[in-house]
Amino acid sequence: MLTRSPDALAATEGSKRGTSIRIEGVEQDFGAFPALRDVSLDIQPGELVALLGPSGSGKTTLLRVIAGLNSPDRGRILFDGENATNLPVQDRHVGMVFQNYALFKHMTVADNIAYGLRVRPRRTRPPRAAIKARVMELLQFVQLDGLGGRYPAQLSGGQRQRVALARALAIEPRVLLLDEPFGALDARVRKDLRRWLRDIHKQTGLTTVFVTHDQDEAMELADRVVVLNEGRIEQIGTPEELYDRPASPFVISFVGEAVALPVTISDGHVTFGGRELHIDTHGLRSGPARVFFRPADIAVTAEGSGDLEGRVESLRRTPAGVRATIAIDGYDQTLEIDSPLDRSASLGGRVPLSLAKARIFPADENGDYVNAGDGI
Amino acid sequence: MTSPSLVGKNARRFAAPSVIPGFGLTFGYTLIYLGVIVLFPLATLIWWSSGLGFSGLYAIASEPRVAASLRTTFFISFAAAFVDLFFGLIVAWVLTRYDFPGRRLLDAFVDLPFALPTAVAGISLAALYSPNGWFGAPLADYDIKIAFTRWGILVALIFIGLPFVVRTVQPIISELEAELEEASATLGAGRLQTVIRVMLPPLAPALLTGFALAFARSIGEYGSVIFIAGNIAYVSEIAPLLIVVKLEQYDVPGATGIATIMLAISFAALLLINLVQAWSRRRFGHV
């Protein structure tokens, strides 16, 4: 249990040691639908971690398991090495920011923020004046000074978001959990709040976990990103690792744009539509496979040296050069390529294309991927 | 009386421009409906009793038997509406928050007091609570008498008032996000604190509406009460019954006098409840 001195109440910024979170083999079923399947994860003290995945991937369920709002069917949650699996929500001291903020609409902003302190048993409840001071301090911290008397309905989305955060911080949480923190906001406010959340994290030093389906958000904010799909962790890594060494076809296509070419491997040679691609198969079995690459990793090249060939569908002038829409032979979608002016081809003409970087994953007969191999 | 052009002009003044036409028609209908169905009969009542004058009305009200019946009606109606407030809230909560087999059936049962002829309800309740009834007999062992006392009136009024509270509160409960409870819990609040500080305040306006409806219905209730009340003058005689009694004795001025007094008290009570409600909406209604 945490015991807090009155002084600790005053300290919002810095100096706080984060709590480590350990998740061991957590599984959760909702009826027949498995929401989490054998999820294990270590979060370092003070780390900022993003749970990234499409809807239904289990990311919110995992966050709720950490918060104690869901109890897992199997597995353990440890805070600072202590088993917290059966600790009730009230005693976990987590600061949770809900997707729709879940502000108490009948309370003023100040009352919302003070709530977590006022509901404490008399023994641990700070005196009235201390609560008031703490609310003032937090209002200032989230840059809402002077708005303490307003009701949530009188605030903008971004302001409500900040009230929700201040309310969560008021209880001096061990960890900060945010469910789609910027989901309901418009693009410009999101950008501002992202930077702001990064600052808050730096200042409080709290271990912070946030859920998002927006890969840009995860990549920009987080120290490490946990990619979830269908209740499983696909990959855990820094943004660099996810971009440069995606562990699975899912990760490469979810994190950034990717083109997937159906190819065949035979005796270590990769062929696509009759042409050989110069890709290291790394001892993959012969058979069907897929080559993944990012649009940025393909470029128009000199005649005769290309891995692939395509037809120029349209050309558009950009400040730096030309953006060409190119249809690759044997691939059903077009892709856009930026190329410098001098390399530009004529409309409808055929251009050779070279792959700078690609990854290859084998596929079974149904086109499902079995395990990962390394690319070029 | 109203030419189309005049309605058109009024429409421009009273209603914001809308793609849906028909302000004139619907407004006219509303006025006629309220006038013919509601206000005209009430006006007649006041007209009839106006011959009595204030002193006459006062004389009727201070007649001991009338005063006793008015007290019985209003106090017990208030008590019944109060009880309904609690039980109605619990029933509405269970029906909206939990999913269990037979929930829809149970939900349909709530409306039975609406649909049942009140006399049927009164007779069943009287049979149940009479000293040899299923409930009455065991209670009689402990010297508790329900039927043919004021408690009987209370039971009948609780019965007929319950659906009003349930039906007004239900939609608001289903709108309350579960996230609010969860947020409260993560902030360290216990269940009771969550209910009192987070869940109940947003429900307050709807609860007051339900209370007012149940109260209003109870004041006018006749059928179900007279069978179980025993109708002992000065004790368990309700004002509506006394009106019938007076009419049977051809004491029309006496009957209309009681009716007018009831109308005045009811109006005052509902006005008060509405004021409290307006206040609670301002206080809690920032939704």
**pLDDT, tens only, A261-319:** 888 888 778 888 777 787 777 777 788 888 888 877 887 777 766 778 888 888 888 78
What pLDDT, on a 0 to 100 scale, did the predictor assign at position A348? 76
pLDDT beyond 90 at A329 = no
pLDDT, mean of residues A233-262: 87
> What integer pLDDT is reported at residue B14 of this predicted model?
67
Number of H helices, E strands in chain B: 16, 0
Is the Cβ pair B183, A154 closer than 8 Å? no
Yes or no: say if A43 and A31 are a contact pair by the CB < 8 Å rule.
Answer: no
Position B7 pLDDT exceeds 60:
no
Give the separation between CA B219 and CA B135, rounded to whole angstroms: 26
Chain B: residues touching A (Cβ < 8 Å): 177, 179-180, 182-190, 193, 197-198, 201-202, 283-287
**pLDDT value of position A94:** 93
pLDDT band at B3 (very low <50, low <70, confident <90, very high): very low
Task: Specify if B9 maps to a domain.
Answer: no
Please check whether residues A116 and A143 belong to one and the same domain: yes
pLDDT of residue A234: 92
Hey, are the CB atoms on B179 and A98 less than 8 Å from each other? yes
Kindly state whether residues A178 and A285 are assigned to the same domain.
Answer: no
Residue B224 falls inside a structural domain: yes
Same domain, A43 and A68: yes
Last residue of a domain, one of A249, A274, A301: A249
Is B240 among the domain residues?
yes
Spatial contact of A52 and A228, defined as CB atoms under 8 Å apart = yes
Whether residue A119 is found in the same domain as residue A235: yes
Residues B155 and B20 in one domain: no
Q: What is the domain range of residue B95?
A: 53-284
Domain check: are B21 and B139 in the same one?
no
In a domain, A25, yes or no: yes
Q: Which residue has the higher pLDDT, A154 or A259?
A: A154
Q: Where does a domain end: A219, A249, A279?
A: A249
Confirm whether B6 is domain-assigned.
no
Spell out which residues of chain B touch residue A115, defining contact as CB-CB under 8 Å.
Answer: 184, 187, 189, 197
- Of all residues in chain B, the percent with pLDDT exceeding 90 is 32
Give me the pLDDT at residue A30, please: 85
Q: What is the pLDDT of residue A375?
A: 42
Residue B166 confidence (pLDDT):
95
The residue ranking higher by pLDDT, A140 or A13, is A140
A112 and A203, same domain (yes or no):
yes
Mean pLDDT of B185-213: 91
Same domain (yes/no): A232, A94: yes
Q: What is the pLDDT of residue A1?
A: 37
Do B40 and B88 lie in a common domain? no
Residue A33 at interface with chain B, using a CB cutoff of 8 Å: no
- Band the pLDDT of A8: cuts 50, 70, 90: very low
Q: pLDDT tens digits, residue range A95-114? A: 999 988 999 988 999 999 99
- Mean pLDDT, residues A331-342: 73
Please write the tens of the pLDDT for every residue from B30-47.
Answer: 999 999 998 998 888 888
d(CA A313, CA B219): 81
Tell me, rounded to whole angstroms, the distance of Cα A231 from its chain centroid.
Answer: 15
Q: Does A96 touch chain B (CB under 8 A)?
A: yes
Q: How confident is the model at residue A345, as a pLDDT?
A: 64
Is residue B8, in this structure, part of any structural domain at all?
Answer: no
User: How far is A185 from A182, CA to CA, in rounded Å?
Assistant: 6
A55 plus A120 within the same structural domain: yes
Whether the per-residue pLDDT at A236 is higher than 60: the answer is yes
Do A235 and A259 lie in a common domain?
A: no
Shared domain for B18 and B40, answered yes or no, is yes
> In CATH, what number is assigned to the domain containing residue A83?
3.40.50.300
In this structure, of A66-80, A214-228, A324-338, the range with the lowest mean pLDDT score is A324-338
pLDDT at A9: 38
Is pLDDT of A11 > 60?
no
pLDDT at A173 over 80: yes
State pLDDT tens for residues A38-71. Answer: 999 999 999 999 999 998 889 999 999 999 999 8
Residue A370 lies in a domain: no
Would the pTM of this model clear 0.90, i.e. be above it?
A: no
- Asked whether B216 and B266 are in contact (CB, 8 A), the reply is yes
Residues A113 and A234 in one domain: yes
How far does B183 lie from chain A, in Å, by closest CA? 7
- Chain B residues in contact with A119 (beta carbon < 8 A): 184, 187-190, 193, 197
Query: How far is it, in rounded angstroms, from Cα A333 to Cα B85?
Result: 63
* C-alpha to C-alpha distances, A285 to A289, A361, A362, nearest whole angstrom: 9, 10, 8
Question: In this predicted model, what pLDDT tens digit does every residue of B218-235 receive, in sequence order?
Answer: 998 988 888 888 888 888
Structural domain boundaries enclosing A352: 250-362
In whole angstroms, what is the distance from residue A154 CA to residue A171 CA? Answer: 24
CB-nearest partner of B183 from A96, A152, A153: A96
**Averaged pLDDT score across all residues of chain A:** 83
Amino acid occupying residue B94: V
Does residue B7 form part of some domain? no
In this prediction, residues A165-176 reach a mean pLDDT of: 93
Q: Quick check: B182 and A102 CB within 8 A? A: yes
Q: Is residue B22 part of a domain?
A: yes
Q: Rounded distance, CA A94 to CA A64, Å?
A: 11
Q: Between chain A and chain B, how many beta carbons pairs sit less than 8 Å apart?
A: 75
B36 and B172 co-located in one domain: no
> In the prediction, which pLDDT does B171 show?
92
Residues B86 and B220 in one domain: yes
Q: Would the ipTM clear 0.90, i.e. be above it?
A: no
CATH value at residue B104: 1.10.3720.10
What pLDDT shows up at residue A42? 94
Containing A216, the helix (H) or strand (E) segment is: helix A215-221
Count of domains observed in chain A? 2
| B37 plus B170 within the same structural domain | no
pLDDT (average), residues A194-209: 89
Alpha-carbon distances, residue B43 vs B35, B195, B244 (angstroms): 10, 45, 20
Q: Is residue A305 part of a domain?
A: yes
pLDDT in tens, B11-20: 455 667 677 7
Within this chain, do residues B39 and B179 fall inside the same structural domain, yes or no?
no
Query: To probe the interface with B, which of A90, A134, A211 has the most B CB atoms within 10 Å?
Result: A90
* B157-188 pLDDT, tens digit each: 999 999 999 999 999 999 888 899 999 999 99
Q: What is the pLDDT of residue B5?
A: 45
Query: In the predicted model, is pLDDT for residue B1 greater than 60?
Result: no
- Residue B214 and residue B109: Cα distance in Å, rounded? 17
Best A105, A151, A178, A209 residue to mutate vs chain B (most B CBs within 10 Å):
A105
Q: Is residue B3 part of a domain?
A: no
CATH number at residue A350: 2.40.50.140
**Is residue A237 located within the same domain as residue A255?**
no
pLDDT tops 50 at residue B2 = no
Confidence of residue A343 (pLDDT cuts 50, 70, 90): low
Does residue A240 share a domain with residue A105?
yes
Q: Quick check: B287 pLDDT over 70? A: no
Do B41 and B158 lie in one domain? The reply is no
Same domain? For B154 and B256 the reply is: yes
B250-285: per-residue pLDDT in tens?
988 888 889 988 988 888 888 988 888 888 777 765
- Contact list in B for residue A93 (CB cut-off 8 A) is 188
Residues from chain A that touch B285, judged by Cβ atoms under 8 A, are 106
Question: Considering the domain boundaries, does residue A373 fall inside one?
Answer: no
pLDDT digits (tens, 9 = 90+) for B99-156: 899 899 999 999 888 888 888 988 988 889 988 888 888 888 888 888 888 899 999 9
B219/B122 same-domain check = yes
Last-in-domain residue among A249, A268, A302: A249
Query: What DSSP assignment string belongs to B238-256?
Result: -HHHHHHHHHHTT-HHHHH
Percent of chain A with pLDDT over 70: 90
* Residues A135 and A25 occupy one common structural domain: yes
Give yes or no: residues B45 and B132 share one domain. no
- For chain B, the domain total comes to 2
